[in-house]
Amino acid sequence: MLLASIFVLAAGVARADDAVMLSLTIKDHLFEPAEVRAPAGKPIAFTVKNLDAIASEFESDALHVEKVIPPGGEAVVHVRPLPPGRYNFFDDFHHATQGFLVVE
């Protein structure tokens, strides 16, 4: 039983290490870059830095994520493996701030 538990934990660590790392900044209510790309079928980890003087909320209904990022702060947002497609994300506090994840 213990050996099976260790194997399951090790498999989870290996999958986390395989995550595609993407970086975004929010400045002047814009995502930079406004579009990012990732391969299909791999977990994704967004590092989002908020360079604005007010809080932002990285959110996406399609990605099933939301995370408040304080002014001058940063956060990591984890996304499950996805099929090919174009996925919208936005700042829920400033809806004009939009971006896209393109999964290929």
Where in the chain are the domains? 18-103
Annotation: CATH topology of 18-103: Immunoglobulin-like (2.60.40)
The residues near 76 (Cβ < 8 Å, ≥ 6 apart) are 45, 46, 47, 48
Q: Using alpha carbons only, what angle is made at residue 12 by residues 9 and 13, rounded to the nearest 5 degrees?
A: 90
pLDDT tens by residue, 28-86: 999 999 999 999 999 999 999 999 999 999 999 999 999 999 999 999 999 999 999 99
pTM of the model: 0.81
Cβ atoms 103, 87 nearer than 8 A: yes
Helical segments of the chain, H only: 2-17
Confidence category of residue 18, pLDDT binned at 50, 70, 90: confident
Q: How far apart are CA 26 and CA 59, in angstroms?
A: 13
